[in-house]
Structure 1
Amino acid sequence: MKRIVIILCATLATPLFFAQSHYKYPFRNPDLPVNERIENLLFLLTTEEKIGMMMDNSQAVPRLEIPAYGWWNEALHGVARAGTATVFPQAIGMAATWDVPEHFKTFEMISDEARAKYNRSFDEALKTGRYEGLTFWTPNINIFRDPRWGRGQETYGEDPYLTSVLGVAAVKGLQGNDPKFFKTHACAKHFAVHSGPEWNRHSYNAEISKRDLYETYLPAFKALVQEGNVREVMCAYNAFDGQPCCANNTLLTEILRGKWKYDGMVVSDCWALADFFQKKYHGTHPDEKTTAADALKHSTDLECGDTYNNLNKSLASGLITENDIDASMRRILKGWFELGMLDPKSSVHWNTIPYSVVDSEEHKKQALKMAQKSIVLMKNEKNILPLSRSIKKIAVVGPNADDGLMQLGNYNGTPSSIVTILDGIKTKFPNAEIIYEKGSEVTDPSSRTSLYQNFISQKNGAKGMKVEFFNNNEFKGQPANTSVNSTAISYNSFGGTQLAPNVGRENTSAIISGIFKSTYTGDVVFSASTSDIYTLFVDGKEIATRKGPDARHPSEFPVKMEKGKEYQIELRHTQKGKYVSISFEVYRKDPVNFASVREKVKNADVIVFAGGLSPSLEGEEMMVNAEGFKGGDKTSIALPKVQRDLLAELRKTGKPVVFVLCTGSALGLEQDEKNYDVLLNAWYGGQSGGTAVADVLAGDYNPSGKLPITFYKNLEQLDNALSKTSKHEGFENYDMQGRTYRYMTEKPLYPFGHGLSYSKFVYGDSKLSKNTISTNENVTITIPVTNVSERDGEEVVQVYIKRNNDIHVPVKTLRAFERTLIKSKETKNIQLNLSKDSFAFYDEKADDLVSKPGDYTIFYGGTSDDAELKSIPLTVK
């Protein structure tokens, strides 16, 4: 009997034995089907090992030679937080290009840099940490429904169709086209019905109609899943209909896994599960083990956070089974194999991408091209632009004129160089006299004058501050590195880069010290910002302290000083987190002297005012106390008062004023329109934003960007139009009624799709391939567009549809567009396809989008503005 068993086992095992003859375990064999490899690895892993691999900081399994892996990485508009990388315009700026092929090309370049960085970091450490892996939690395809949302800059705007098309392009560019291995993973976030406010996102419960859910908030996610084959979906912090999104029946079970048949990974937003059991947040679950079990059962596979450490307790309590864990693990392990991370390096051709692609000349050129294409010329009275190349004197004024960090937006990388707006203008107009006056800060009614030059490192020492780094948390022993900084202090170790030679990447401390000599009697302001714990001392006296990474604190500390007196300054920093950021400045604050600024620029031929907002004010869950801002969001959409006043003062010169607006969101500028002749929206333009602005000012680039968002006249216009049926008011109301061009009935200041050019385009009468179609047919519209100007230019041809006699649907909605170059005096016939999905709207019986019969109006033109659109009727039977 024993002999028979042995023979049978050998016979059955022969193929497996042959398949793994060169591999220790079958899951290592690249010739086996992926499902077989997954099942083998799943069989080999213990329960504890599985759980250790179900969080973003995936634990190594040494006995199986599986390395540690950090799932969390970012690539919103370039590889982020991982050292040097090409930084393209912020996402909202790339949306303003309306250029799908170039958007795809941009993300191909981003994923090339991503693979190159992974290849190097893994080769060096045989593991990857945070911001070093191949799984990018990009793109953000939430709908920018309200201009107050600080993270709207990360999106592709307010329209579901534009967001869908650009989102799919980003996913395909990131994931590559290899039939076996993905170049990287992309991630559709944040699923779903998520767009602020930031301050209550951990407790907010979104309640909307099914119509708004299916017609506005879900289309982009569906497109990324079904057209883009996105491999990860991130569930949001907030709740929807009473259930947190990461354990939501409707979103995850019924729609994502059910209707859409999504088979990829679901990952939680970071520490979102901790909101389940904390009473100050959702408080929907009694404890960690119940939270972990519920999220897992709703197919949240990977947690960014550590609540899944409690899955063993969930298992022991009978809340889940091993099968529940295995179901998620199969999707997680599939990710490992899809990316080739468990295959021989030579078998994955993406591993041959050289590091030289990072920050390459080709990528730098693309960053400039996208910055140029993103710029929207919103107003150009008297054709002041383009400026003459023989112009004699240009005044450059404003808080954003010489601010390179502003141009990088948020979720950004670190470019090797940045061209500011001031830099760009100086380079573009070498024969003109350039007068630069900052004029004001973005929001602060005081101006800042740096005093860092008044530091010496020690008695009779060099100019600047002494910086000592220690490879421990206690400032003990000899410093690992000592240097003198002649400019304001700024260090960061994002991406695992060293703070300085010989300095470790973790558990460091630093002493930054120097002697400061005051040049006046009064308040000297010290500004400290670090990622961890710090204490600031003046002459040995503690002035300020930050007790931990999450401690809320002011960053400015005024200290009364006497002219001519010297003071010993010391900042002590202790690293507790994995990454370090340290910045330290000293300056004088004085009230803005508007009259003085006016006098200095009054003789200029033109005044370029570079103002707007800053990513230091709008963004993710920020600690900002400035007037008009809260938690990263805006409470007002007006231009900050100090800038409004400065613009009004500049207008008194009688000289042309060109307002270069830098922003991640729409502003209500109605009250400021009289104070500028030109409005040029440059967004947060990335590393080459300043060059792009100068190119447009000089006419070397013909502006062609279009707004992906509506610019309301003021906040009252928006709030007055909002639905009155929601229990929430204003920003917290997620109803679409009155919001965005799709539901707005009033005339905005600048409409969605708006953007001027130095060329002039005239639209002829369009033709449809059929005037009547069935609900399952497509139709083609042919639109003649003529460039009647003397200059070649690009135009974005836009097609909108309206379902007539239906009060429940949008007043019009974008269904097709194409960006095209039209030469001077040329007429182009633009053909655009309207699929049957173009006529799909929510149907209560189907509980989904359904192509609807009826009479439609097809609108077309270069904007969504009714006054400039032409139309043609269509019947769907």
Structure 2
Amino acid sequence: MRKSFLFILVFILFNTLLFGQKQTYKFQKTNLSFEERSVDLVSQLTLEEKVAQMMNTAPAIPRLGIPAYNWWNEVLHGVARTSYHVTVYPQAIAMAATFDPDALNRMADYSALEGRAIYNDAIASGKAGERYVGLTYWTPNINIFRDPRWGRGQETYGEDPYLTGTLGKSFVKGLQGDDPKYLKAAACAKHYAVHSGPESLRHVFDVSPSDYDLWDTYLPAFKELVVNASVAGVMCAYNAFKGQPCCGSDQLMMDILRNQWKFKGYVTSDCWAIDDFFKNHKTHPDAASASADAVFHGTDIDCGTSAYLALVDAVKQGIITESQIDVSVRRLFMIRFRLGMFDPVAMVQYAQTPKSVIESEDHQAHALKMAQESIVLLKNENNTLPLSKNIKKIAVLGPNADNSISILGNYNGTPSNIVTALKGIKEKVGNQVEVTYEAAINFTNDFEGEGKDSSGVGSNEKAHFAALVNRVKDADVIVFVGGISPQLEGEEMKVDYEGFNGGDRTSIQLPRVQTRLMKALQETGKPVVFVMMTGSAIAIPWEAEHIPAIVNAWYGGQSAGTAIANVLFGDYNPSGRLPVTFYKADADLPAFENYSMDNRTYRYFKGKALYPFGYGLSYTTFAYTWKQQPAKKEYKGKDKISCTIKISNTGLMDGSEVVQAYIEYPQTNTVLPLKELRQFDHVFINKAGSKELNIEIPVEALKKWSTEKKELRLVPGDYHLIIGSHSSDKKLSFAFKLIE
């Protein structure tokens, strides 16, 4: 406590010296609006100084007392890539599996506080211009996870626009804070707007989705964050869109973002995306023309090293005017003013955040809470789970059993303490239970180079598995912790194993060696529990049929192992739900490069999923009944579909249910989705207890793009409101019509 007080005192004294000097310029007057101050500050700059401020590494301007600032920072699931130890929450896709906006809001709040403490300490240490200490976070990633092969899908909130927008809005509100004047931190919606792999082509491909798919799938979450969450920043993507690089797109950047949505915040390019204009897309001859065009389209920052520096020549050549440069620079300083960077600490509550908040008890407890809420119980045959704590021996196997890299995901920070699955299980059962551990295999194949039989199995593998089975056959239960890892999937990676390429996956099938091992383990006759870690959907048809218990634990963050153990032994009743469809096989998927939504995600997929979107089991059971059905059978544009339902816990354990309300669309119009999520509620109910929930869906939310009218319009016809525990569940149903 004394250290925190001393830190604040020193910081305030430092700030007093900085801001206590005579106010020479208008922009230094704190009684003026941020707009007035930004205009004045920019008016003091030379052209060269303005252009330099448009790089992510904005240099200091000593003559005006402007410190250096690096815009590049990340906070995907906790402050990322910093040299400080920080709280690391579950990966974004795992947080989406909680279906808990309040939990995401708190996680963002806590992360922003830790980021503030790091920034304050960096200022006091003279390191405020370094990367990964600033207050402008290039998060959240709200691209739609349209294809499970995309390695960066783990950074998103899944395949559904409504879920993504709802969770993204909660994140932004938590991160940016509720102060009427100052931002706690600045969030950034990325990658605007149609971007989801392949990673190997992201610098060159040109995507041209239909206007229907654009407005139905790719834009809703961005609109939610820009229009309703007041997100501070937007990052434009690498790829081209309808022939123009995204950062220079007429439709995305000018027509939609700035004109229709009235976005007043800043836009940054993805890193080195401006270079792609002239180096990869070949849409511009050089850096000067590319940079000028990006600025024309409202891209204020070049995350890169040199492209925007050519703006000085572009002005001198008459390609762009200095007044157009001024617009971008004013937007950038507006963000810095809103973050309180030029005001005394005493005026900015967030600037007084001490280092003691980093990895505080509340933050670590919340990381565990979210890890537990994210775990999805996919199968539990004959109540294999929860395990008894009275067993004598557990065999823990698999490449993820003691893998600290997997649980931290990507775009991650580093916590002081990491609990792997093995560590969590050992801590749970204590010394009275024998726990044996072997990695047994790697993720893809430990037996390269040996001769294989017709089934692809080598003699060395057979011998290895036979010996392993002999060693674990006396265990009471075998826990295999497998799946995949951020070592295999992620951003533009140099990975070339079977089923993986460049950060993406070439197959959604669980690596075959893992299935073969589980087949061998099953021969012991002992119950096998499959704990799967992944950032995306994995096809596990054999496991779904033969393994008695399957738990999807994602990349669960610093407390993943504790959360897994709590679920396995019944100290936490699982409530996670799938934010993506788990397909049966690669054959269910269209071509990866095809951005059409036809037959993609639960909204348009016409096949039968292995595990549907929104799916997840519990150790208890729930019953749904109507309390009050919707009052009308016909609705118009300004109406709301309202009803009340009662959810009862009919099992033997307290637990949480994720109640999901879907709209089924008429299929007379073939482009309409089959169904889509329009409301969800994460509710805790004691055993034998019940809760009432109000469902309220604005009819206007059901508008779809009209190719004829070139706008979003309601489609008249027969609809259904479906309420249940996942997208294929119909516990309650109500038919209604939409009329013009």
Same fold (TM over 0.5): yes
1:386 and 1:590 map into 2 onto residues whose CA distance is: 32
User: Which amino acid is the alignment partner of residue 686 of structure 2?
Assistant: K
- 1:394-793 alignment runs, 5 A limit: 394-430=394-430, 431-446=432-447, 593-719=464-590, 730-765=591-626, 767-793=629-655
Partner of residue 72, structure 1:
72
Shifted more, 606-615 versus 778-787: the winner is: 778-787
* Structure 1 residue 779 displacement after superposition: 2.3
Residue 216 of structure 1: SS of its match in structure 2? Answer: helix
The answer to whether the 8 A contact 1:394-1:434 is kept is yes
Query: 1:594-625: per-residue Cα shift (whole Å, max 9, x none)?
Result: 11111111111111000000101000000001
- Which protein has the bigger strand share? 1
Query: 1:421-451: per-residue Cα shift (whole Å, max 9, x none)?
Result: 001111111221112121111123249xxxx
Partner of residue 390, structure 1:
390
* Structure 1 residue 590 displacement after superposition: 9.8
Partner of residue 477, structure 1:
none
Q: Does 1:798 align with 2:685?
A: no
Residue 429 of structure 1: SS of its match in structure 2? Answer: helix
Residue 304 of structure 1: SS of its match in structure 2? Answer: coil
Query: 1:116-172: per-residue Cα shift (whole Å, max 9, x none)?
Result: 100000121063211010000000000000000000000000000000000001101
Query: 1:179-207: per-residue Cα shift (whole Å, max 9, x none)?
Result: 11101100000001100000010001111
1:845 and 1:718 map into 2 onto residues whose CA distance is: 30
Where has structure 1 moved over 4 Å in runs of 4 or more?
Answer: 589-592
Residue 768 of structure 1: SS of its match in structure 2? Answer: coil
The answer to whether the 8 A contact 1:215-1:849 is kept is no
2:428 and 2:678 map into 1 onto residues whose CA distance is: 39
The answer to whether the 8 A contact 1:446-1:591 is kept is no
Partner of residue 231, structure 1:
232
1:869 and 1:410 map into 2 onto residues whose CA distance is: 38
Query: 1:59-87: per-residue Cα shift (whole Å, max 9, x none)?
Result: 11111010110000000000001121100
Partner of residue 701, structure 2:
838
* Structure 1 residue 825 displacement after superposition: 1.9
2:139 and 2:164 map into 1 onto residues whose CA distance is: 13
The answer to whether the 8 A contact 2:419-2:559 is kept is yes
* Structure 1 residue 592 displacement after superposition: 7.9
User: Which amino acid is the alignment partner of residue 42 of structure 1?
Assistant: V
| Pair 110,21 (structure 1): closer, same or farther in 2 beyond 3 Å | closer
The answer to whether the 8 A contact 1:160-1:219 is kept is yes
Partner of residue 332, structure 2:
332
1:177 and 1:243 map into 2 onto residues whose CA distance is: 37
2:329 and 2:696 map into 1 onto residues whose CA distance is: 41
Residue 684 of structure 2: SS of its match in structure 1? Answer: strand
Paired-residue identity, %: 51
The answer to whether the 8 A contact 2:119-2:128 is kept is no
User: Which amino acid is the alignment partner of residue 412 of structure 2?
Assistant: N
2:186 and 2:255 map into 1 onto residues whose CA distance is: 24
2:656 and 2:170 map into 1 onto residues whose CA distance is: 20
Partner of residue 277, structure 1:
278
- 1:340-351 alignment runs, 5 A limit: 340-351=340-351
* Structure 1 residue 836 displacement after superposition: 3.0
The answer to whether the 8 A contact 1:775-1:853 is kept is no
- Which protein has the bigger helix share? 2
1:781 and 1:439 map into 2 onto residues whose CA distance is: 53
Residue 616 of structure 2: SS of its match in structure 1? Answer: coil
Q: Which structure has the greater CA radius of gyration?
A: 1
2:543 and 2:388 map into 1 onto residues whose CA distance is: 26
User: Which amino acid is the alignment partner of residue 861 of structure 1?
Assistant: G
Partner of residue 478, structure 1:
none
The answer to whether the 8 A contact 1:97-1:706 is kept is yes
1:666 and 1:268 map into 2 onto residues whose CA distance is: 29
2:445 and 2:247 map into 1 onto residues whose CA distance is: 40
Q: How many residues align?
A: 704
The answer to whether the 8 A contact 1:214-1:848 is kept is no
1:660 and 1:793 map into 2 onto residues whose CA distance is: 21
1:847 and 1:651 map into 2 onto residues whose CA distance is: 57
| Pair 604,383 (structure 1): closer, same or farther in 2 beyond 3 Å | same
User: Which amino acid is the alignment partner of residue 372 of structure 1?
Assistant: Q
Unaligned runs of 5+ in 2: 1-19, 449-459
Partner of residue 293, structure 2:
294
Q: Does 1:872 align with 2:734?
A: yes
Partner of residue 304, structure 1:
303
User: Which amino acid is the alignment partner of residue 513 of structure 2?
Assistant: V
* Structure 1 residue 94 displacement after superposition: 0.2
Partner of residue 58, structure 2:
58
The answer to whether the 8 A contact 2:51-2:308 is kept is yes
The answer to whether the 8 A contact 1:774-1:853 is kept is no
The answer to whether the 8 A contact 1:252-1:298 is kept is yes
1:650 and 1:694 map into 2 onto residues whose CA distance is: 21
Residue 41 of structure 2: SS of its match in structure 1? Answer: helix
The answer to whether the 8 A contact 1:375-1:705 is kept is yes
Residue 428 of structure 1: SS of its match in structure 2? Answer: helix
| Pair 77,637 (structure 1): closer, same or farther in 2 beyond 3 Å | same
Query: 1:663-716: per-residue Cα shift (whole Å, max 9, x none)?
Result: 000011113334411110000000000000000001000000000000000111
The answer to whether the 8 A contact 1:738-1:744 is kept is yes
1:261 and 1:104 map into 2 onto residues whose CA distance is: 25
Partner of residue 499, structure 1:
none
Partner of residue 815, structure 1:
678
Aligned residues: CA RMSD: 1.6
The answer to whether the 8 A contact 1:67-1:126 is kept is no
Residue 104 of structure 2: SS of its match in structure 1? Answer: helix
Unaligned runs of 5+ in 1: 1-19, 448-588, 720-729
1:873 and 1:775 map into 2 onto residues whose CA distance is: 17
2:693 and 2:463 map into 1 onto residues whose CA distance is: 52
Query: 1:258-312: per-residue Cα shift (whole Å, max 9, x none)?
Result: 111111111100000111111xx21111111110111010110111012101001
The answer to whether the 8 A contact 2:635-2:699 is kept is no
The answer to whether the 8 A contact 2:405-2:487 is kept is no
1:759 and 1:118 map into 2 onto residues whose CA distance is: 45
Partner of residue 454, structure 2:
none
1:38 and 1:440 map into 2 onto residues whose CA distance is: 59
Structure-2-length-normalised TM-score: 0.93
Residue 125 of structure 1: SS of its match in structure 2? Answer: coil
* Structure 1 residue 22 displacement after superposition: 4.5
Q: Does 1:216 align with 2:217?
A: yes
1:675 and 1:845 map into 2 onto residues whose CA distance is: 51
User: Which amino acid is the alignment partner of residue 612 of structure 1?
Assistant: G
The answer to whether the 8 A contact 1:863-1:869 is kept is no
| Pair 48,783 (structure 1): closer, same or farther in 2 beyond 3 Å | same
Q: Does 1:261 align with 2:262?
A: yes
Residue 422 of structure 1: SS of its match in structure 2? Answer: helix
Partner of residue 160, structure 1:
161
User: Which amino acid is the alignment partner of residue 602 of structure 1?
Assistant: K
Residue 443 of structure 2: SS of its match in structure 1? Answer: coil
* Structure 1 residue 40 displacement after superposition: 1.0
- 1:6-45 alignment runs, 5 A limit: 22-45=22-45
Residue 115 of structure 2: SS of its match in structure 1? Answer: helix
1:425 and 1:757 map into 2 onto residues whose CA distance is: 20
2:700 and 2:105 map into 1 onto residues whose CA distance is: 23
The answer to whether the 8 A contact 1:775-1:852 is kept is no
